[in-house]
Amino acid sequence: MAFLIVYVPFAIWWGEMEGDIAMEEWKDSNHRGADYLMTMPMQNFLADAFPPPELLEGEGGFEKHGLSVAVGSPPPTPPPPEDGCSPLPLTPQFGQKFGSGGGGGGGSLADRRARGGFSNVARISVPYNQPVADVSSAGAPSPYVTIPPGLSPTTLLESPVFFSNAMGQASPTTGKLHMLGGANDSNPIRFESPPIEEGSGAFSFKPLNLASSQYAAAEKTKSLPNNQHQSLPISVKTEATSIQTAQDEAAANQLMQPQFNGGKRSRAAPDNGGDGEGQPVEGDAKADSSSGAAAVAVVAAAAAAVAEDGYSWRKYGQKQVKHSEYPRSYYKCTHASCAVKKKVERSHEGHVTEIIYKGTHNHPKPAASRRPPVHPPPPSPATTTTTPLPPGDAQADHAPDGGGGSTPVGAGQAGAEWHNGGVVGGEGLVDATSSPSVPGELCESTASMQVHEGAAAAQLGESPEGVDVTSAVSDEVDRDDKATHVLPLAAAAADGESDELERKRRSHTHQYHCPLCSFHGIAREIV
DNA sequence: AGCCTTTGACCAGCG
DNA sequence: TCGCTGGTCAAAGGC
């Protein structure tokens, strides 16, 4: 089946967060490829959201604002985030023993290796440490985040994750671009319906950088003036079996707001692989966020949405997969008649590197009641600061349940500051601002995150700070899971994968930055 | 008591 | 047919 893949990169901001976040690199102007195929039947959602490739290319590529989303298969149902909390990955999975490999405990050597978890260690840092600048320059592919089935591409696109505010920056993905046309004329990209083909779309977000780890971050901070953030790659993929309709939007809407209210996390830990799921971004966000409370909320919601879909999930397995550095956790929707499943890969640090949804929820999200109560975020000092929170620490609560976590706490309240990757193309920033709270999964440091109202401001006419959204069109052709699989940017770069691959990967991508949390997100279209 | 996570084992697909 | 790999099951235990 087709997948909707979303890559959400986490980035860590080093140094100033100001609006400067230039995501330049993100865009890959050259590669849009003819491949830009949006074959998914998601047209419904995406139609507006994605600009035609041509448009994108206008600027050498893609970088226009907005996300590009590829929809592969039937649009996933957008799960409204219910739980207010998004789980943050607090607990690294380092010593964790990974689920049984096929062989189970006694299993084959391979299994043992996999389970050993040892292997992971070596690999862990790779993706995260790379400085953004490098990445961008390198064109490193970013990791992705998959969009939950519950979320419709549209939702994602509009979600705060990608855009600073609910209003949503105009972006191909958001589908709002077309609306913004006037405002953002500068943007090359307009959202006319992008060429989307049914059946094969893929929507993905990739994490750009990899320096998610605090450790690395700390060091880099000093050294990297410009490269202020490192990102952690997160990919989210969704395989949707059915098409979503209004439901998605509704869900999206729900995600946007309610979530933030909840303070308490639900138990379920959706994305987390069981580790802690994300915790709602609380706290700090508020500090600065004041400026964009609303926007923040939205953003957070979006983030949450990505990270958590608002549904309740039960983890039924974990396993180290060969192609992935990190263990993959398997979740099922706890709803009686719902067969939706999702696979979540988390880094040892607890960052979600990839989420793959399979199926579509055939039921409404869990009652709001489950949403975590809002926890007042502890004021975090460094709201804007780059100091990355320790993965675990930052989060106040994580909202576990799949849905759970959808939102982080107070997301609305929390003001996590997000920057969307500006258009790399060098165009003006599109600001999107970020969301206050990001689901832990997506953003570890959510607590500290603040939201810039950039996006909102943008709409308002204010210039967004640092939020850049980049979109690129890519040639990407991969459809299968592997194809969708996200490689850490750093790794990719290091590996020296062909430029093309990276280009492809980056194509149709949009970047997002969260100054505080280092969350970088990239949406990528996969055909 | 219910729900969830953990994790070894089992199963199916593929080369 | 075998081995590898990914996905799922289910017992045990925790909250």
Strands in A209-300 per DSSP E:
229-232, 235-239
End-to-end CA distance of chain A: 12
The answer to whether A323 CB sits below 7 Å from nucleic acid chain C is yes
> How many domains, chain A?
1
Residue A414 CB contacts under 8 Å (≥ 6 apart), including other chains: A260, A280, A281, A282, A283, A284, A285, A286, A289, A296, A300, A377, A408, A436, A437, A446, A447, A449, A451
Residue A43 CB contacts under 8 Å (≥ 6 apart), including other chains: A71, A193, A196, A198
A321 in a structural domain: yes
* Residue numbers of the domain that contains A348: 310-363
Q: How far is the CA of A103 from the C1' of C3 (A)?
A: 11
Q: How far is the CA of A101 from the C1' of B8 (A)?
A: 9
A394 in a structural domain: no
Q: What is the pLDDT of residues A429-448, one digit of tens each?
A: 333 333 333 333 344 333 33
Q: What is the pLDDT of residues A201-247, one digit of tens each?
A: 333 334 433 333 333 333 333 333 333 344 445 555 555 443 333 34
A318 in a structural domain: yes
Q: Which residue is nearest to nucleotide C6 (CA to C1')?
A: A321
CATH number of the domain within which A351 lies: 2.20.25.80
Is the model's pLDDT at A342 over the cut of 60? Answer: yes
Q: Is A180 left (phi over 0), alpha (psi -120 to 50) or beta?
A: alpha
Q: How far is the CA of A102 from the C1' of C10 (A)?
A: 15
A397 in a structural domain: no
A345 in a structural domain: yes
The answer to whether A481 CB sits below 7 Å from nucleic acid chain C is yes
DSSP SS3 for A352: strand
Is the model's pLDDT at A52 over the cut of 70? Answer: no
The answer to whether A381 CB sits below 7 Å from nucleic acid chain B is no
Q: How far is the CA of A203 from the C1' of C8 (A)?
A: 26
DSSP SS3 for A513: strand
Q: How far apart are CA A279 and CA A268, in angstroms?
A: 11
pLDDT (0 to 100) of residue A450: 30
A150 in a structural domain: no
Is the model's pLDDT at A120 over the cut of 70? Answer: no
Q: What is the pLDDT of residues A81-109, one digit of tens each?
A: 333 333 333 333 333 333 333 333 333 33
The answer to whether A89 CB sits below 7 Å from nucleic acid chain B is no
Q: Which residue is nearest to nucleotide C3 (CA to C1')?
A: A108
A347 in a structural domain: yes
pLDDT (0 to 100) of residue A345: 85
DSSP SS3 for A222: helix
The answer to whether A186 CB sits below 7 Å from nucleic acid chain C is no
Reported pTM: 0.40
The answer to whether A322 CB sits below 7 Å from nucleic acid chain C is yes
Strands in A94-144 per DSSP E:
none
Neighbours of A481 (CB within 10 A): 17
Nucleotide nearest to A482 (CA to C1'): C6
A319 in a structural domain: yes
